[in-house]
Structure 1
Amino acid sequence: MSNMKILLLTLLIMNTAQARDLSIERIFSSPSLSGVPMRSVAFSPDGERVTFLQGKAQDKDQFDLWQYHIKTGKKQILVDSKVLQPDGEQLSAEEKARRERQRTASFKGIVEYSWSKDGSQILFPLSGNLFVYKLQDGSVQQITDSEDFDTDARFSPAGQYVSFIRQQNIYVVNIATKQSKQLTFDGKDTLKNGMAEFVAQEEMDRDTGYWWSKDEEKIAYLQVDESSVAITQRYEINADTIEIVQQRYPYTGAANVIIKLAIYNLAEGTTQWLDLGDDTDIYIPRVKWLNDSQTLSYQLQSRNQQNLKLRFSDLAGNTRTVLEENSNSWLNLHHDLYFLDDDTFIWASERDGYKHLYHYNNNGQLLRQLSHGQWVVDEIEAIDADKQLIYYTASKESAIEKHLYVQSLQADADTETVNKITKKSGWHDIKMDDTAQFYIDNWSDRDHPQSSYLYAADGTLLTTLNDNSIDKDHPYYPYLNSHQKTRFGQLKTDEGQALHYRITLPKNFDESTKYPVFLYTYGGPHAQMVTNSWGRLIEQYMAQQGFIVFA
């Protein structure tokens, strides 16, 4: 065979390998066509390593605990979930519901973990029991062993205890002695202690119901009474079955849960209930201790979600409203409440039509508005108290992209001076360490799945944690030539408001031909569909089937 024929045959084989069309079966099978992203990325407290969860190559939904050592550049598995649980796990009904609310219902193995404050241990649940990984010797210690399912586990601030929920009550276990202690006793049937109610999990981004004080002496917790909520039936859609289950569901306008807030003193074994007022038809979407551990803050929201009060309660039960937000439509919730050591705090508000940051003192006096303009802050990523810098993500330059910004917190600083740190066009999901010295950038755009990079706080690239480029070894490579480009644009309303859209045209698009349209949208808040980020491959599949995909 001549060299020319060999070359042509090679090119034909290469082109064929890159021109496959997607199938539904392939999209949802392993290995993932989006590569192997790093989930639940976290810095160790000493800043020496990055930990994350990663799915197995042969089962993308079976997660193990991994680490990346920054100095050595070595990536290695710390805990193999299959070694600890070779036969898989059976979830309780409560844990199944909790994972559904967290959108992790299909995940198996290690699905969450947390560091101890001193960086010596990592806590993770598996099959309803709790385990601790010790970095010193690489051993794994099981600290609970119960037929009941232990959920929502975390280290106490000083790392002496692990707290968790068992059978609708709060427990703590001493790590050294493995002795468990039950703190609440009346949780049963429709009464739940330390647990988030359905609405909080599904709509308010709160999946816990208890909070440690920093001095490790107190736990604030919510008690939820669901007895007044009507029982309804709904479909539970599993991988291979559909079940009809009964659930207490708070329909619009119908009875809601009754919620109470308490402070438990571990040394005294006493519980103090806080006075939330006469109106019981309320939400408590956020609870957070101030840095002195002597004051508890909580946010009280009206049932119609048009009023929100930030309240402070001291240990004597004295409560005051620090600030109040009102809206004629509804108030979006956020996690951007940061208490500083100078008796001030940072707060986010949409009072001027855009989500921006505000600086208050602890008496509720507004010191100044920190960010301004016709753009929105996404969330605070970190605060460097020593350098008086605040880092946050926002869409300042483009509504369809997310970037990292920094500005000064100094009283005499110009609040118009906002410096953009990330440079590459696209979507940057940021995770900063507690000291605001480093950040992990999980970056993607419409044509590149998520890759992860480690940067210094000033934007200097330190290393690539996970290069997910679509090379010849990438699972998506055989489908690359069939990948349809997405175009972005704007539509103007009669009022002159810009509505962003994205459109993906089918293969061999002909302007003279009519095509069916796959309208990809979601009507709820906090679910922006038009972003310059890697998307769901079902859209590519529909475009390859001859649909115009529009959002």
Structure 2
Amino acid sequence: MRHDAQVTSSESFPRQKARTRGFQLGRPRGLKVIGERVLFVRSSSGLDPAGGLWKLDLGIHAPVEECLVDAAALLTTGELPAAELARRERMREVTSGITHFTTDKSGTVIAFAISGIAYVSVLGSTVHTRELPTPGAVIDPRVSPTGQHVAFVVDGGLWVIDAHNLDAQPQLLCESTAETETWGLADFIAAEELDRLRGFWWLADGSGLIVERADNAPVGIRWISDPAQPANEPVPHRYPAAGEANPIVELWLVPLTGTRKQIIWDLAKFPYLATVNAGESGNVVCVLTRDQRTASINRIDLESGQLVEMAARTDPAWIDVHGELPFLTADGALIEIISDAPTDTNRVARDGVFISPAGLQVNGVVDSSSEGLLVLASPDPMEQHLY
């Protein structure tokens, strides 16, 4: 965190923690490395709650941070959608401004939202940032790998717009036809229990998307009151309690032009959509049984819409979900993190064969290339390093 002149040695720890929102303000996060360019989100100081978009160019002799988008200049008093508020709560997000961004493959087209308004920035000799026309408050804008389009969710429906045509208007791809139906949002179980916070993925060629459809109609209602506002009426909230009905969760292939098709699997046997990874080498989907002891890892056949099982994993206790794994490498190998019970270690596996040593607890895969994997791992519970 940057030095702040208003911090004094007499300021108590609780006050420092409250002022800096858990020491999050001013800290770089959401780093994305593309070639010699590093993009990240950070506020200007330990007092500033508004995250901006920054760049660090590693290709110059003395790298200097550059603020590409000053979120404070774009902040409005607009209300965030309820789904976005819930999403931020699950992310433990305590800041404002830019909290997340996505880029195209080259890292020159960037999409983000501020106060429910979608923006796109194009990097060149200068930075051009503009607001995108949308039909309402936006959730989770994501730019296509080609940089041509931006997709986003409004009122439970999935929309797409040309990122460069100034006269373009948003196109509705998937419309929500009921209050309990959403397209492109992670269902409650995925977001709260499986740490999956997104509900749509661009295909590598930008021709369409893989989209989650969730229907919460079977889920029981709980009534939530606000202790801080006792005069307000309790609001209904559909909560899939243990042992009770779950939402209906589906995946669909949605082309930018043409007819969408449902991706078929045994929903009764595998009700949980754990992870989706869309890449140039193939699109991988992992689904779980309700007891979370069996996982089915599948490749999507884009022609038929069927899932083709690549591997099945079982665990007598519990199968952990690790980010957006499994995924396919450039040469088609399946990369997973598997619990190795005899050594009590989470290990990286390539096509089912362990490639990380026993005793090194692998927590996630940061990057993959032809030279190997960059992983986040712990040699002991008190430390975490890159390997």
Query: Greater CA deviation, 55-64 or 129-138?
Result: 55-64
Residues 411-459 of structure 1: per-residue CA shift (max 9 Å, x gap): xxxxxxxxxxxxxxxxxxxxxxxxxxxxxxxxxxxxxxxxxxxxxxxxx
The match for 1:112 among 100, 107, 118 is 100
Residues 509-539 of structure 1: per-residue CA shift (max 9 Å, x gap): xxxxxxxxxxxxxxxxxxxxxxxxxxxxxxx
- The alignment partner of 1:158 has SS state of coil
Displacement of 1:83 after TM fit? Answer: 1.4
Tell me, yes or no, if structure 1 residue 226 matches structure 2 residue 216: yes
Displacement of 1:182 after TM fit? Answer: 0.8
| Cα distance in structure 2, aligned partners of 1:355 and 1:275 | 30
Tell me, yes or no, if structure 1 residue 347 matches structure 2 residue 336: yes
Aligned to 1:121: 109
Residues 329-361 of structure 1: per-residue CA shift (max 9 Å, x gap): 21111133231222322121114332111111x
Return the TM-score normalized by structure 2.
Answer: 0.87
Q: How many residues align?
A: 371
Distance change >3 Å, CA 139–CA 254, structure 1 → 2: same
Would the aligned equivalents of 1:167 and 1:188 in 2 still touch at CA under 8 Å?
no
Distance change >3 Å, CA 166–CA 65, structure 1 → 2: same
Distance change >3 Å, CA 237–CA 153, structure 1 → 2: farther
Tell me, yes or no, if structure 1 residue 62 matches structure 2 residue 50: yes
Q: What aligned pairs does 1:16-35 form with structure 2 within 5 A after superposition?
A: 18=9, 20=10, 22=12, 24-30=14-20
Amino acid at match of 1:391: L
Displacement of 1:98 after TM fit? Answer: 1.4
Would the aligned equivalents of 1:381 and 1:391 in 2 still touch at CA under 8 Å?
yes
Aligned to 2:375: 392
Distance change >3 Å, CA 373–CA 154, structure 1 → 2: same
Tell me, yes or no, if structure 1 residue 98 matches structure 2 residue 87: yes
Aligned to 1:437: none
Distance change >3 Å, CA 155–CA 376, structure 1 → 2: same
Root-mean-square deviation over aligned CA pairs: 2.7
Aligned to 2:152: 164
Aligned to 2:386: 404
Amino acid at match of 1:404: L
**Higher relative CO (CA 8 A, sep ≥ 6), structure 1 or 2?**
1
Aligned to 1:356: 347
Displacement of 1:186 after TM fit? Answer: 3.7
Q: What aligned pairs does 1:167-178 form with structure 2 within 5 A after superposition?
A: 167-177=155-165, 178=168
| Cα distance in structure 2, aligned partners of 1:34 and 1:300 | 34
- The alignment partner of 1:94 has SS state of helix
Residues 193-249 of structure 1: per-residue CA shift (max 9 Å, x gap): 11111111111111111111112223111111100101102355789x998532101
- The alignment partner of 2:88 has SS state of helix
Residues 366-413 of structure 1: per-residue CA shift (max 9 Å, x gap): 4x321232331121222230x3x22212223x23111222xxxxxxxx
- The alignment partner of 1:183 has SS state of strand
Would the aligned equivalents of 2:25 and 2:48 in 1 still touch at CA under 8 Å?
no
Identity %: 24
Give ranges in structure 1 of 5+ residues lacking alignment: 1-16, 361-365, 406-551
Displacement of 1:131 after TM fit? Answer: 1.0
The match for 2:287 among 295, 300, 321 is 300
| Cα distance in structure 2, aligned partners of 1:26 and 1:346 | 42
Aligned to 2:357: 372
Q: What aligned pairs does 1:321-470 form with structure 2 within 5 A after superposition?
A: 321-335=309-323, 336-352=325-341, 353-360=344-351, 366=352, 368-385=353-370, 387=371, 389-396=372-379, 398-405=380-387
Aligned to 2:271: 282
Would the aligned equivalents of 1:67 and 1:78 in 2 still touch at CA under 8 Å?
yes
- The alignment partner of 2:53 has SS state of strand
| Cα distance in structure 2, aligned partners of 1:138 and 1:302 | 47
| Cα distance in structure 1, aligned partners of 2:355 and 2:226 | 45
| Cα distance in structure 1, aligned partners of 2:89 and 2:65 | 30
Residues 60-106 of structure 1: per-residue CA shift (max 9 Å, x gap): 32222222333142223222222122x434212121111111111x3
Residues 100-138 of structure 1: per-residue CA shift (max 9 Å, x gap): 11111x321111112232232322111222112232222
Would the aligned equivalents of 1:41 and 1:53 in 2 still touch at CA under 8 Å?
yes
Distance change >3 Å, CA 238–CA 400, structure 1 → 2: farther
Amino acid at match of 2:14: I
The match for 1:317 among 280, 302, 305 is 305
Would the aligned equivalents of 1:65 and 1:110 in 2 still touch at CA under 8 Å?
yes
Amino acid at match of 1:55: S
Displacement of 1:187 after TM fit? Answer: 4.2
Aligned to 1:212: 202
- The alignment partner of 2:190 has SS state of helix
Would the aligned equivalents of 1:89 and 1:126 in 2 still touch at CA under 8 Å?
no
Would the aligned equivalents of 1:89 and 1:127 in 2 still touch at CA under 8 Å?
yes
| Cα distance in structure 1, aligned partners of 2:97 and 2:227 | 20
Amino acid at match of 1:93: A
Would the aligned equivalents of 2:156 and 2:183 in 1 still touch at CA under 8 Å?
yes
The match for 1:266 among 251, 256, 279 is 256
Would the aligned equivalents of 2:183 and 2:213 in 1 still touch at CA under 8 Å?
yes
Give ranges in structure 2 of 5+ residues lacking alignment: 1-7
Distance change >3 Å, CA 403–CA 33, structure 1 → 2: closer
| Cα distance in structure 1, aligned partners of 2:176 and 2:220 | 21
